[in-house]
Structure 1
Amino acid sequence: WNLQTIYGNEYSPSKAALNLVKSIACSIVNKKFASIILKCLHENYPMTGLQHVKRIRTVKSTEGDCLQVLVFVGTKHLHASELHVLETNMETKKSPLDSIQSLNEIKEYLTSFVPVQVPIVPPLTREQFEMCQLYWPVSFHENKAVSQLMNCSLFTDADYCIMESNMKLAIQTAAAGKLMHPSANVGAVVVDSVSNSVIATAYDLRNIPCEINKGIMVAHPLNHATMVAIDLVAYSQGGGSYNYKDLLKMNDNSNYICTNLTLYVTREPCIMCCMALLHSRIKRVFYGTSFVGGGFGSSYKLNTIKELNHRFEVFQGVLENECSRL
């Protein structure tokens, strides 16, 4: 099986994540004028907030290497209408700088204006950095913690053995649920993130009656495996809504619902369950197989939304084939 991180769209190696904007560059007629050009551009069109973008690049050609300088960065330096006029001038072979008096002193040093695309957001991963280089050179300072999280290299072989063991327990729990009802084919296990002690195991109870009060049995449509697991954790702390004594494994009373706890679940939780995990302050989630209506990797990536008041790590693919056969 192959473990994958569910990360935010801002880490994706895509054009949308790079936030490419139309810009204008031009060739320098002679390298000896580079310092004069850079000084003028810095005074009139500074790269404030764009420290990752390099102002000059080397372009290789059959006629030899030449330097290109970034004159304007999209709407950072120009209004959209002004940028359109400059692009039109280039199409009609006019100099884009004819109407810009602030650059009069360097016009004679510039030639061959070309439209380019510049990433105005700094690259967060090496993949994004390599993609940026296809458009315009940028600097990149790798965040080791982010890189390890993205490629799952933060986990040791021992960690992978623990993941597999806990997911096997979730699969066994789902199998036990299927004996109760065919639809109870999702299993969940909550463990302490440090000690790996099991706090609760649960399977889907939507079609299995549970005691909600003395002698009152109800099969509730919201009793997904993840919701039941969260309720079991609450029950272990003196709360909870249902009587799950036969399913409960308890080893800790110190958590605020799911703080410092890890969930293993055979199938990607739905949006409702994902929000419940968020509000319960879960630390980490591992799931086996994806689900079309899932709230993590399949659609919304709820664990990565900055506007929400809790973010946590989510990984998919643990014993994926075994989970998909449930």
Structure 2
Amino acid sequence: MAQLLRSLSSDLNKDGNMGICVDPRGSSIVAIAGSQPEALPHEHCVMWLVDHVARSQGGGAWESTQTFSSEPTELGVPQSYKDYIQQQQDFQDLRIGAELPRNCQSLQELEQEQSAANNLSKYGPYLCTGYDVYLLREPCLMCAMALVHSRVRRIFFLDCCKNGALISCFKLHTIKELNHHYEVFHIILT
């Protein structure tokens, strides 16, 4: 995923930030998003990524200039990124496609389940519950909080940022008072 993030950024996104959301149960890419360095905070990569995950579940709030695949399970992956992955020898084996949401019988049943991974298996996707997110750059505080609200399981990032909220300036994921926590991993390539 680290190699894919760097390649997408340099080849398709003018060295802007990139994010990939993965369902770890089958190592399938659920959504991909990117943003430019000069993007307004509400248009950061993570914000687009969460919206693309919502799109893969039949939602999404933002109008995008990108064309998305017509496959229902691939609605979170812009067609240009999908084509790039399929054309590159190093990435052809990656799986693309999200699980479609299932209806649970009641909200009470959903609240009784404790484990995010079990929720994902039992009820299907809800926002980013149980998913892993790979980011080229450490997210800012707003984006890190968006990942809390979207119920991400783990975050992997490559590059630290001067305003990063996971290890550089702040450690958001360690605040006990938050109602959701995720694991954070800084990937260091040698």
Q: Under TM normalisation by the shorter chain, which class is it?
A: 0.5 to 0.7
Kindly provide the CA deviation profile for residues 214-244 of structure 1, in whole angstroms up to 9, marking residues without a partner as x.
Answer: xxxxx86521111111110011111112235
Q: 1:263 & 1:185 partners in 2: Cα distance? A: 17
Distance 1:277 1:256, change over 3 A: same
What are the ranges of 5 or more consecutive residues in structure 2 without an aligned counterpart? Answer: 69-76, 79-95, 101-123
Q: 1:287 & 1:297 partners in 2: Cα distance? A: 11
SS in 2 for 1:257: coil
Kindly provide the CA deviation profile for residues 268-300 of structure 1, in whole angstroms up to 9, marking residues without a partner as x.
Answer: 000010000000000000000111101101122
Which one is further off, 264-273 or 296-305?
296-305
Number of the residue aligned with 1:139? none
Number of the residue aligned with 2:52? 232
Structure 1 residue 245 displacement after superposition:
3.8
SS in 1 for 2:42: coil
1:252 corresponds, among 85, 99, 110, to 99
Structure 1 residue 317 displacement after superposition:
2.5
Report whether the alignment pairs 1:204 with 2:35: yes
8 Å CA contact retained: 2:51, 2:60: yes
SS in 2 for 1:273: helix
Number of the residue aligned with 2:187? 317
Number of the residue aligned with 1:286? 156
2:61 corresponds, among 241, 251, 259, to 241
8 Å CA contact retained: 2:17, 2:36: no
8 Å CA contact retained: 2:16, 2:37: no
8 Å CA contact retained: 2:17, 2:45: yes
8 Å CA contact retained: 2:155, 2:184: yes
8 Å CA contact retained: 1:286, 1:318: no
1:190 corresponds, among 18, 21, 34, to 21
Number of the residue aligned with 1:171? 6
Structure 1 residue 258 displacement after superposition:
0.4
Q: 1:245 & 1:235 partners in 2: Cα distance? A: 12
What is the TM-score when the length of structure 1 is the normalising length?
Answer: 0.40
Which one is further off, 239-248 or 299-308?
239-248
Structure 1 residue 251 displacement after superposition:
2.0
8 Å CA contact retained: 2:16, 2:36: no
Q: Which runs of 4 or more aligned residues in structure 1 lie more than 6 Å from their structure 2 counterparts after TM superposition?
A: none
Counterpart code for 2:8: T
SS in 2 for 1:285: strand
Counterpart code for 1:192: D
8 Å CA contact retained: 1:167, 1:318: no
RMSD: 2.0
SS in 2 for 1:222: helix
Structure with the greater alpha carbon radius of gyration: 1
Number of the residue aligned with 1:156? none
Distance 1:236 1:318, change over 3 A: farther
Identical amino acids, percent of aligned pairs? 37
Number of the residue aligned with 1:98? none
Q: 2:37 & 2:57 partners in 1: Cα distance? A: 23
Query: How many residues are treated as equivalent by the alignment?
Result: 139
SS in 1 for 2:146: helix
Counterpart code for 2:127: I
What is the TM-score when the length of structure 2 is the normalising length?
Answer: 0.67
Distance 1:302 1:220, change over 3 A: closer
